[in-house]
């Protein structure tokens, strides 16, 4: 499989030069918009959020297995987890169905993993389930033989980035306030980066095959990490 527009294939050989001293691979991308198609013919959101991650993991796993203490982490979202408010109560709900759309390659006119009509918000949530399933399968198939730690993590809602650039102005204004003062899920870009760095390096997050949920539950200055088992529809 050759992909042209997401940089995965060109990134891999360039990064290999540094790999002997780099024991981790982070993969994260978010893109929510109306349906578009990549140069490869796939629905763009699925390729950016899931297929590119899958490709990078496939390309790197052999080399990473040679590095002691390697970690392969995909930055996920609570929106794909049906045991969270964002994923279990806010419509539309993520649902991969029978994967018929994915079997067809999610190529025009089939844009959704479940083969149903396109829904931008659901496409994003579905891609996050795919991320979790990828990590779960990597753990089951390769953790024991390679020693690599496979995990997915959620740093919190970074509501002030360009992630929501195609939403209406009122949403871009009110959503960060809602997440900050109502749900408490808001996190700044700097704090999200700190949380990600700690998940990369901390011994408490070394466990493989888990979804790491970051929460300032006990004190605003202390981030607690909960390693949760995967739960999706």
* Averaged pLDDT of the chain: 80
Asked if residue 12 belongs to a domain, the reply is yes
Inside any domain, residue 22: yes
41 in a structural domain: yes
* 1 vs 37, residue with greater confidence: 37
Confidence grade of residue 30 (pLDDT, cut at 50, 70, 90): low
Residues 90, 92, 97, 100: is their CA dihedral positive or negative? Answer: negative
Give 164-219 pLDDT, tens digit per residue. Answer: 787 788 988 998 898 888 878 888 898 888 888 888 888 888 899 988 877 543 33
**pLDDT category of residue 36 using cuts at 50, 70 and 90:** confident
Q: Which residues contact 155 (CB under 8 A, 6 or more apart)?
A: 75, 187, 191, 192, 193, 195, 196, 199, 214
Give the pLDDT of residue 27.
Answer: 63
pLDDT band at residue 26 using 50, 70 and 90 as cut-offs: low
Residue 97 lies in a domain: yes
Residue range of the domain that includes 114 = 8-228
- CA 108 to chain centroid, in Å, comes to 24
- 64 part of a folded domain: yes
- Domain containing 79 — which CATH number? 3.40.50.720
In a domain, 3, yes or no: no
Is 126 inside a domain boundary? yes
Please report whether residue 177 resides in a domain.
Answer: yes
- Give the total number of structural domains in the chain: 1
Least confident of 13-17, 153-157, 163-167: 13-17
């Amino acid at each position: 499989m050759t992909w042209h527009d997401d940089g995965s294939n060109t990134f891999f050989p360039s990064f290999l030069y540094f790999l002997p001293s780099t024991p981790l691979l982070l993969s994260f991308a978010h893109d929510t918009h109306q349906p578009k198609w990549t140069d490869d013919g796939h629905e763009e959101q699925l390729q950016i959020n899931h297929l590119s991650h899958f490709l990078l993991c496939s390309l790197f796993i052999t080399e990473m297995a040679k590095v002691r203490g390697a970690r392969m982490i995909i930055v996920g979202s609570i929106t794909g987890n049906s045991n969270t408010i964002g994923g279990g109560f806010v419509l539309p709900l993520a649902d991969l169905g029978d994967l018929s759309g994915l079997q067809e390659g999610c190529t025009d006119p089939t844009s959704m993993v479940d083969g149903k009509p396109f829904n931008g918000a659901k496409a994003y949530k579905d891609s996050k389930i795919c991320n979790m399933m990828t990590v779960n399968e990597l753990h089951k198939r390769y953790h024991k033989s390679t020693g690599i730690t496979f995990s997915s993590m959620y740093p919190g809602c970074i509501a002030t980035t360009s992630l929501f650039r195609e939403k209406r102005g009122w949403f871009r204004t009110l959503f960060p306030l809602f997440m900050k003062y109502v749900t408490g899920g808001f996190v700044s870009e700097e704090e999200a980066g700190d949380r990600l760095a700690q998940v990369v390096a901390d011994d408490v997050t070394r466990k493989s095959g888990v979804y790491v949920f970051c929460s300032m539950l006990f004190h605003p200055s202390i981030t607690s990490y909960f390693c949760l088992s995967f739960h999706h529809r």
